[in-house]
Amino acid sequence: MSHTAHIPSHRKPRRNASKMALRAGVAGGVLSTLAVAGAAGSANAAEPVTETIEMPTITSDLAAKAAASADATQQTAAAYKLRAQQDSVTAKAAKQAKQDQADAEHKAAEAKKKAEAEAKQRAEERASRAAERTQLTKTSAASTSTESATTSAPSSSNAPAPASGSAGSVISFLKSQLGDAYVMGGTGPNSWDCSGLTQAAFKSVGVDLPRTSQEQSTAGTSVSLDNVQPGDLLYWGGAGSAYHVGVYIGGGQYLDAANPGKGVVIQDLSGYPASGAVRLL
């Protein structure tokens, strides 16, 4: 036995195990917390503190609105450009229309002026021809009287040359009608067909001709085209069935009421040779 066994112990009684474990756990937790806090403090002390500024994020809605705004701006610009082009075209069209109207009015005025001048000229020509016809009628009547008084024998069947006065009067009458219109069935004074003109020409010297080309082609004495003389009646087609007549005026030319396109004109026999001729004077 120990020499101290009989001495009572002064130690406090040992706590139970559960309480001791609890205290140990609490102490351990505190120590752990302090250790973590210390580590965190050391880390924070080692790294500088920085401040991060977050930029606003472009969301899909914001992007869609921006795109729509851009499209609207482009459409507006395109609309303005189109409107400007339309205004330009309209202005040009208006200017051209104004110019066209001015040109049309100018042409109309020129046409009216020309028509009035032509009408005046035709009136003067008609008046001149009327005066010539009056004088020609008087001259022809006097010439016919003189020829009747001086003729002592009838014309022979060999178709003698016509008196120059009568032939000249016929040709003068015909030339006074130059420029008159051709009208089917026309007998004057300003429009003729072919046989109406020749009938009036020979009537001016006292020779009565039938009305139609067919009848006139057999009314006188037939002569060959090689012996034709001024004042002879020319015909185209057969004798008795002629479809056109004119009068030979000399120099290889004849005068006739040709057609609606030409009217009363002088033409060359070489361009339209006659079929035959008759002498009436």
Domains of the chain: 94-146+163-281 (3.90.1720.10)
What are the tokens at 255?
């005068």
Helix (H, G, I), strand (E, B) or coil at 1: coil
Cα 184 from Cα 179, distance rounded (Å): 16
What are the tokens at 18?
């559960």
Question: Looking at residue 61, what is its pLDDT?
Answer: 73
Cα 172 from Cα 230, distance rounded (Å): 11
Question: Looking at residue 138, what is its pLDDT?
Answer: 54
User: 188: buried, middle or exposed (CB in 10 Å: 19+, 13-18, 0-12)?
Assistant: middle
Question: Looking at residue 126, what is its pLDDT?
Answer: 65
The CB-side HSE value for 82 (13 A sphere, CA atoms) comes to 6
- β partners of residue 235: 245, 276
Question: Looking at residue 29, what is its pLDDT?
Answer: 52
Question: Looking at residue 30, what is its pLDDT?
Answer: 44
Cα 205 from Cα 148, distance rounded (Å): 12
Cα 8 from Cα 142, distance rounded (Å): 208
Closest CA to 199 of 153, 256, 238: 256
Residues of the chain below pLDDT 50: 1-2, 4, 17-18, 21-22, 24, 26-27, 30-37, 39-46, 49, 140, 142-163
* Residue whose tokens read 């035709």: 122
Torsion angle of the four alpha carbons 216, 219, 221, 227, in this order, in degrees rounded to the nearest 10? -10
Question: Looking at residue 218, what is its pLDDT?
Answer: 96
Question: Looking at residue 98, what is its pLDDT?
Answer: 87
Cα angle 47, 49, 54 (rounded to 5 degrees) comes to 125
Contact (Cβ atoms closer than 8 angstroms) between residue 246 and residue 195: no
